[in-house]
Structure 1
Amino acid sequence: MEILLAFVIGFLFMAATYLLLSKSLLRIIIGTGLLSHGAHLLILTMGGLGGEAPPVLTDGARDFADPLPQALILTAIVISFGVTAFFLVLAYRTYQDLGTDDLSLLKGSDELE
């Protein structure tokens, strides 16, 4: 299972890098979302996928899931949703004011008007 998740994580990082290098603001936002999902899966995989029992210590529990990676991922998911929502509002306002989401057109000019 870890090998399959390693390929999925690699694919997510590859797609996120491709999208982050594009000139469209919306693609960059999607790329940051994919990058955060890849990081979440990486943390989960590195924490170990084993464990049959829930992370509650009782008498006789031997093979239980580690709760620390799950708590870290849950916190990271909430933060990434907030950041993505902020990026989407920022991109919408930029498109509303300037009429484009192309980063090469958003650079501005050095000449004074």
Structure 2
Amino acid sequence: MTNELTPAENHRYNRFKRQMKQVDCNTESEIRYFLSLLRVWWRWAQHYAFFAVGLIMFIFTLALEVDARLDHSSMVTVFTTSLTAFWLGMGILGMAAPFAYGRKLRELDEFGTRLIAELATK
């Protein structure tokens, strides 16, 4: 490889190689398949988990707010309104979560390419 890794990147790369051995990925096709599974995990599983938590908490706090308005409790209404806005924001953030993992995905691609190149030279 022409570009050398920093010590921190080298540590993460060695950990990546150990993990590939643990899941018994020894060929190029197995490594590519496993990396595709990891991409799906990073992009969608975390995205939907984040969004689901935000949506559940939004519905929960919305129910609290409706209950507080029925009781005419102004302090609780202010609190639950702000809490509802917070969880709605978390849900919206969850929709943007896949875009936040670009660096991790690039690192996985780079490490996979390095490992495949190492296997080819053996």
TM-score, structure 1 normalization: 0.42
1 or 2, which has the higher helix percentage?
Answer: 2
With structure 2 as the length reference, what TM-score do the two structures score?
0.40
Say which one has the larger Rg: 2
